[in-house]
Amino acid sequence: MRKPQYWMLAVMFLTACMSGLYVIGVAKDIAQGMVHLDVATAANAVTVISIANLSGRLVLGILSDKISRIRVITIGQVVSLVGMAALLFAPLNALTFFAAIACVAFNFGGTITVFPSLVSEFFGLNNLAKNYGVIYLGFGIGSICGSLIASLFGGFYVTFCVIFALLILSLALSTTIRQPKSTVYNEAHA
């Protein structure tokens, strides 16, 4: 926890969880309130999120065995940023809405899958349970923050703006974080 990389990873994880859990929790409400979809069509958001979440776990998980895990996280963040940008700036209809929430859910699923291995690469296997356990607090904090921001500021828009800003910050962190030193990397892959 003393290393800056730890806090950089923690912010990235919190951001992915906040965006994913918030969108999952309010997708039907977004569909009805912002996109003006009927209840039956809005309910399809659950299916879209489930498929995208699973796809993110599979695609980013497999990709993390082929390229650097931090680059996989970067790819996921870009996908999520596109989705959040669509929710904020694109004219929303059923297609753009479902594509946007799919992007966010894809990143969320992939991040949850890749992060334990990423943490072990940075800090080794010896303290993985402790290190990942504390970073995983971002899941709980992220789940609360999205709804808290929405209740304090009255809706989706401000929450999406905060998530968008956090995604930009996380993207900057993931592109500037230094890879682990070879001793930690070798220990993680022993």
Reported as a single tens digit per residue, the pLDDT across 23-51 is 999 999 999 989 999 999 999 999 999 99
Reported as a single tens digit per residue, the pLDDT across 133-179 is 888 888 889 889 988 998 898 888 999 999 999 999 999 999 998 86
Residue 65 pLDDT greater than 60, yes or no: yes
Which stretch of 67-71, 93-97, 134-138, 178-182 has the lowest confidence by average pLDDT? 178-182
Q: What is the pLDDT of residue 187?
A: 52
Number of domains in the chain: 1
Reported as a single tens digit per residue, the pLDDT across 105-133 is 999 999 999 999 988 888 888 878 888 88
Q: What is the pLDDT of residue 129?
A: 84
Q: What is the pLDDT of residue 186?
A: 53
- Whichever domain contains 52, its CATH number is 1.20.1250.20
Residue 183 pLDDT greater than 50, yes or no: no
Rounded CA gap, 179 and 84, in Å?
28
Angle at 174 between CA 95 and CA 177, to 5 degrees: 180
Q: Which domain holds residue 148?
A: 4-188
